[in-house]
Amino acid sequence: MSGAASLASLATLAPYAADDLRSRGRRYPEPPPQYRSEFQRDRDRIIHCNAFRRLTYKTQVFVNHEGDLYRTRVTHSIEVAQIARTIARALALNETLTEAISLAHDLGHTPFGHAGQDALNACMRDYGGFEHNLQSLRTVDELEERYARFPGLNLTFECREGILKHCSLARARELGDVGERFLQHRQPGLEAQLANLGDEIAYNNHDVDDGIRAGLLGLEQLAEVPLVQRQLQEVQQLYPDLTARRRVHEVVRRMVNAQVVDVIQSSSERLRTAHPADIDAVRAHDRPLIGMSEPMHAQHLQLKRFLHEHLYRHQRVLRMTIKAQRVVTDLFGAFMSDSRLMPEEHYEAARRAEEHEGAAGRARCVSDYVAGMTDRYAILEHARLFDPAERT
């Protein structure tokens, strides 16, 4: 890292923030960047990779072709980054690392959101399962093909640690350095904790907005959730004649703000009390130091439950979920029974993996191919494979 950049970062970072100068480094050592920090380089590599652009056409809740204004995985990831960066800066944490982790956190997501992931996990049951978090790490460590000297993006340990939010203990044992904390019950760095919480805040609130836009939720119905009710009352008092669209936005932005302010205040409090000397003290702490206050956490969970009941299980969403599961399951089955149906490079990878690891190796390559698909590519590929009227 260049001298000027490191001085600038030292002047603004809290002692417990992640610092480029004390990074645990990259899997394949590289010379430091000339004009950027190490974490800037991570962020830039993420933005330029194929998996990031694919997020544009991957479902958050609503399938991409259902409407142009709904969140997709990429706009979701940008909202996560925005929320997490605000909090990072207020707490003097490393804003760039927070942004990099936020932008990368969903890189391993399948087409069709959670429905696609559940279906792929079921397909992979006999071959080690499928975890989208682990797939995000696999994407940046192995699957991206961009650099001559190493596979993947060769990101810093701190960024990889943040991408791997959770994983099974069996997997953690295979992962080496980034898996250790799950076995030792340690925490990740604060920037990783923050990106995780930013994810929760972002989707809870934007799903309210998208659900209302789709006509599946109403503000009046949502008013049974205390977090919404408080903001709705305030908006109605201040602006009784507001149009519906502006009212929704005024309510949702206040909900985001209330949660962000709460996280900043309660995390500051926890940090003041715990007083970790550095990032290793953060990792050794018995619980996360970034978090909401108890009352806000309770309200956050109420909203989450409400969305599960009224949005994610809404008949219109469920119909699409079932179709999506069928597409993913059919694709996996077809490629698994004959890998030659996949494009040449995926077929070759599957053949090589099968030589070393048997059917599980082939399954992992099929799962990589299916997980990498965008919604529309998966739909198109499904039609090409199963509809005799379609051109192959």
Judged by beta carbon, residue 189 or residue 198, the one nearer Mg ion is: 198
Calpha distance 91→19 (Å, rounded) = 14
- Give residue 188's identity as a one-letter amino acid code: P
Alpha helices in 141-243 (DSSP H): 157-163, 169-174, 180-184, 190-213, 219-222, 226-238
Closest distance of CB 130 from Mg ion, Å = 16
Closest distance of CB 149 from Mg ion, Å = 30
Calpha distance 113→110 (Å, rounded) = 6
Nearest to 273 by CA among 260, 287, 262, 261: 287
Question: Which tokens go with 22?
Answer: 């004390």
Closest distance of CB 153 from Mg ion, Å = 19
Q: Which residues contact 136 (CB under 8 A, 6 or more apart)?
A: 104, 105, 106, 107, 108, 109, 163, 164
Closest distance of CB 343 from Mg ion, Å = 28
Angle at 40 between CA 38 and CA 45, to 5 degrees: 100
Closest distance of CB 233 from Mg ion, Å = 30
Judged by beta carbon, residue 1 or residue 55, the one nearer Mg ion is: 55
Judged by beta carbon, residue 132 or residue 270, the one nearer Mg ion is: 132
Angle at 313 between CA 132 and CA 256, to 5 degrees: 70
Judged by beta carbon, residue 159 or residue 353, the one nearer Mg ion is: 159
Interacting residues with Mg ion (CB under 5 A): 106, 199
Burial code (b: 16+ CB inside 10 Å, e: under 16) for 30-52 equals eeeeeebbbbbbbbebbeebebb
Closest distance of CB 60 from Mg ion, Å = 8
Closest distance of CB 197 from Mg ion, Å = 11
Judged by beta carbon, residue 106 or residue 368, the one nearer Mg ion is: 106
Calpha distance 316→333 (Å, rounded) = 26
Q: Which residue is nearest to Mg ion, using beta carbons?
A: 199
